[in-house]
Homo-oligomer: A and B are copies of this chain.
Amino acid sequence: MNKLNYLSIFIVFFTGFTTVMAGEVEPAPNGIEFPADYRDWRVISTSNRIDNKTLRVILGNDVAIKAARNGKTNPWPNGAILAKVVFKQGIAEHWSQAIVPKKFVHVEFMVKDTKKYASTGNWGYARWLGNKLKPHGENSNFAKTCVACHTPVKSNDYVFTEPAPMYNLPQK
């Protein structure tokens, strides 16, 4: 085997490896890619839904955090992405009076882009289910259900989340 063949094998292996790394989570049916770094985003709020016994953590990318901290959230700026991480709740192991996250249910996103997502209220919707992060929805029509649920808060730029008042601190 000559050097070129070794090189080819290396390229094939390396390219394949890279593809697996980047493509380990399938995109949503509307083409939205999984934001693989969402766990590193900063917190906007939390909530406890008593109707379905879930706890949620709402995170934002840098654009969303800047908007939240400056109260510029109606409308949210283009480029803002909100992530909602949803957990089945349970009782804390060491404190019987605390409800805490016990099981990862899904993570869902709203991506603000007034051009790209004009047909769905200026937001792109995506959700990935369970620890395998299976994309939600059979085809891109799934987003119609998202829009329908969010339409009652159209006057709040389709967003249910109220940024937590953790930002009301002396500013640097």
Contacts and interface: CB of A to CB of B under 8 A. Distances in A.
Contact of A162 (B93, B104, B152, B164): B93
Contacts of A172: 21, 36
A51 B48 CA distance: 15
A144 interface: no
Contact of A92 (B42, B104, B160): B160
Interface stretch (A4-12, A94-102, A112-120): A94-102
Size category of the binding interface on chain A: 35 or more
Nearest to A36: B172
A170 B92 contact: no
Nearest to A105: B165
Given A133-B170, A169-B131, A48 B39 contact: no
Contacts of A93: 162
A47 B104 contact: no
A104 B152 CA distance: 27
Interface of A: 21, 24-25, 36, 39-43, 45-51, 55-57, 59, 85, 87, 89, 92-95, 97-104, 107, 131, 133, 152-153, 156, 160, 162, 164-170, 172
